[in-house]
């Protein structure tokens, strides 16, 4: 596999469910990101991991819990979500330093619907 792979591509969950989104990158990058994309709103940066350390938590509610076990894998654990959390969740990766740090490669996204 190449690039940045996200699973599942589509997820429907109730407000009391617990689920996880998975992201895997095969680019040798050492920084990974979660972005939220809602209709007609800018991409919202949620979390940044650099060298497996969380370096950014952009005031995200605690019902979203990220995990980065190594530089190739990133998870977003979801629990007791609200309908307004329905959105496309995009994972991205980049180098953590140098000019490559500015070049994000995005996955195809996980479309989440909260009922």
Spatial distance between the Cα atoms of 37 and 39, rounded to a whole number of angstroms: 7
Minimum distance of another protein from residue 15's CB (angstroms): 26
User: Which CB sits closer to another protein, 33 or 64?
Assistant: 33
User: Which CB sits closer to another protein, 44 or 67?
Assistant: 44
User: Which CB sits closer to another protein, 64 or 89?
Assistant: 89
Residues that bind another protein (CB under 8 A): 31, 33, 35, 40-43, 45, 48, 50, 55-56, 90, 94, 96, 101-104, 106-109
Spatial distance between the Cα atoms of 88 and 72, rounded to a whole number of angstroms: 21
What value does the CA radius of gyration of the chain take, rounded to a whole number of Å? 13
User: Which CB sits closer to another protein, 13 or 101?
Assistant: 101
Check: CB of residue 67 under 8 Å from CB of residue 52. Answer: no
Find, among 85, 93, 92, 73, the residue nearest to 111 by Cα.
85
Minimum distance of another protein from residue 43's CB (angstroms): 4
């Amino acid at each position: 596999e190449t690039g940045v792979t996200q699973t599942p591509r589509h997820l429907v969950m109730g407000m009391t469910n617990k689920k996880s989104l998975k992201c895997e990158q095969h680019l040798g990058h050492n920084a990974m990101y979660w972005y939220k994309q809602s209709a007609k709103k800018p991409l919202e940066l949620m979390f940044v991991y650099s060298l497996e350390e969380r370096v950014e938590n952009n005031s995200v509610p605690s019902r979203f819990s990220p995990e980065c076990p190594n530089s190739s894998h990133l998870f977003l654990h979801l629990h007791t979500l609200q309908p307004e959390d329905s959105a496309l969740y995009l994972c991205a990766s980049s180098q953590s330093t140098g000019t490559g740090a500015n070049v994000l490669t995005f996955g195809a996204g996980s479309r989440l619907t909260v009922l």
